[in-house]
Amino acid sequence: MMCANDINDKNNRSPLLEAVLFGGAGDFGMNMMVLKSRNCSLMLDAGSALPGLTHFGIQAVIPNIETLSKEVGTLDGIVLTHGHQDHIGAVPFIWHILRGNIYGTSFTLALLERILKEHAIAPEERLVEVSIGSHIKIGVFDLEFINVAHSLPGSVAVAVNTPAGTVLHTGDYKMNASQQEASATDRSRLAEIGEEGVLAMFADSTNALMSGYTPDEQHAYRGLERLFSTIDTRIFVATFSSSINRVRTLFELARTHGRKVFLMGRSLINNVRLAERLGYLEIAPNLYAEKSKLRQYLRKELLVIATGSQGEPRSALHQLATVPDGSVPLESGDVIAFSARLIPGNEGQLNKLVKRLVKRDIEVVQNAEHPIHVSGHGSQQDMKEMLSLVKPDYIVPIHGEHAQLLRHAALVDAQADCSSTAIAVQNGVRLCFDSNEAWFGYPIEASLNYIDHDRQICTRNEALLAERRAIAQSGLLIVTIGSRVTHETPRRHFQVTTHGLRMATEESDITKQVEACIETIITDMASTKCDGTVGMETEIRKQLRSLFRSQNRVCPVVLTVFTEYL
């Protein structure tokens, strides 16, 4: 296995090809890499990631755009392997450095176009549709698109012919697919490319910790079939809005078992309509439940497919669990099945949602009990087969946390009949290639940008993020100070307001002490004629911090507001 600290004497050489990892190597999401050769820069995928639980008010996380702009200047093109957010979500934020076009299959570009519209970006003629097996040229790069099986239509691997040799980017894939899935992995073309010679393969590592092959969709179909056969009440299924394969499976089961289907969640409804329009789904109109008649269907006649498999606070399922009088109110005895992979980091919010559902006497079915979900990512045997087909000189595991990347690399080293060299990478790595050699160039800064709900970019060190975190953890205390005229003599008056802060506990009530502390500060500063607002604000914050600490309380964020009259 080759690691970044293995090579330290070749940075003065000019490589024929550079591959720069901006995201997706060491974390889930933000998949983004750039190939550079002869003043030509090509980006493969441009994804975002979900924020952590402590990123309050943040909608998504992306690689640092300023770093990207400094490193590549402008992009000659972007190639998208498929339409998941972790592969297309960052496009609106790098649009300004794109001088070429964006290439993808019809479903991928349709999903991207919706995102661009939300950001008020008119793509005009810059979204170029590609078909399976087609070839395009971007600067010095010649590209071919190869069909792969994944959880949504239009997924491809990309073979890039470069001045240093052929590079294969697998995208997200698995080797086995059933009739319920939109496409199959083209083993024969991958083998042909392997015979022609591949310098490096950048390969999906998401399921590197899973043994065997990833099952096909028929496996989930059988598990869900058992569910439908044994339940005579309403069934709710939570899944990803982009899981078109799963939606197809659920509609087939609904037809077989005499159920009408109601879709909940804007993104799910939009994606299903899109898949129907592009011919990836064929659904009989009479399978849809009429919204006006939802309360009239017998409980055994209704299937609800909803977003919210990760417990997201804004999802349809979360609304079902928290709003008792919605369009489809949950009732005791209903069954909710989670037919989706749990993304690492979402365990807390999902567990909280499940507890809420169980408390309402809702039966919750998860994949640990019933095989009602299969992944769209290949497991260890899929990875070994891909390696044996492509036979690259170098294999670079990407798309995963460090545990997945290292396990994928170890699989390569342990394969006796494999002559490929595994390269362990992380975000910020610059890989350099000649026609028969690879080494590590100078790394880039692997920092992040945070996108808030106003679609504005924040940096990790921005005060806004720290303030949100502090308020969420400790609460907010607002001291409003104004002037009030009493017997024709103006004097300071104040009012205390709190948000997310408990002033009274079973042991004590700190309200009067807080008010007395503020009163003393105002009086003392007035008597010494030190009535400056900045000095008073500083003193109030300082004294309240001491007061809360003396009471073994966490000090809230203190905001002092001055008005002329109160």
Distance of alpha carbon 389 from alpha carbon 359, whole angstroms: 51
Q: Is the pLDDT of residue 531 over 70?
A: no
User: What does pLDDT average to over the chain?
Assistant: 88
Per residue in 296-323, pLDDT (tens digit) is: 899 999 999 999 998 888 889 988 888 7
Give the lowest-confidence range in 52-56, 191-195, 226-230, 402-406: 52-56
The answer to whether 63 and 23 are in contact (CB under 8 A) is yes
> What is the arrangement of strands in the sheet containing 448-452, beginning at the earlier edge strand?
58-63, 448-452, 457-459
Please, what's the b/e burial string for 499-533 (b: 16 or more CB within 10 A of its CB; e: otherwise)? Answer: eebebeeeeeebeebbeebbeebbeebeeeeeeee
Identify residue 564 by its one-letter amino acid code: E
Give the lowest-confidence range in 388-397, 455-464, 518-527: 455-464
Per residue in 325-365, pLDDT (tens digit) is: 777 888 899 999 999 988 777 788 888 888 989 988 999 99
Span 542-561, average pLDDT: 87
**pLDDT for res 491:** 59
φ, ψ dihedrals at 115, nearest 5°:
-65, -45
Per residue in 94-152, pLDDT (tens digit) is: 999 999 999 999 999 999 999 999 999 999 899 999 999 999 999 999 999 999 999 99
Distance of alpha carbon 302 from alpha carbon 289, whole angstroms: 8
φ, ψ dihedrals at 453, nearest 5°:
-70, -10
DSSP code at position 207 = T
**pLDDT for res 103:** 98
How many other β-carbons are positioned within 10 Å of the β-carbon of residue 103?
A: 24
Domains and CATH numbers, the chain: 4-212+375-459 (3.60.15.10), 217-365 (3.40.50.10710), 475-565 (3.10.20.580)
Residue 480, beta-bridge partner list: 495, 561
Per residue in 167-201, pLDDT (tens digit) is: 999 999 999 988 777 789 999 999 999 999 999 99
**pLDDT for res 311:** 86
Q: 3-state SS string over 75-113? A: EEEEECCCCCHHHHCCHHHHHHHEEEEEEECHHHHHHHH
* Beta strand ranges found along 307-444 (DSSP E): 335-338, 363-365, 394-398, 400-401, 421-422, 430-433, 438-440
Per residue in 404-443, pLDDT (tens digit) is: 999 999 999 888 788 899 999 999 999 999 988 999 999 9
Q: Is the pLDDT of residue 392 over 70?
A: yes
Distance of alpha carbon 58 from alpha carbon 52, whole angstroms: 9
Distance of alpha carbon 142 from alpha carbon 158, whole angstroms: 10
Longest dimension (CA), the chain: 96
Span 80-85, average pLDDT: 96
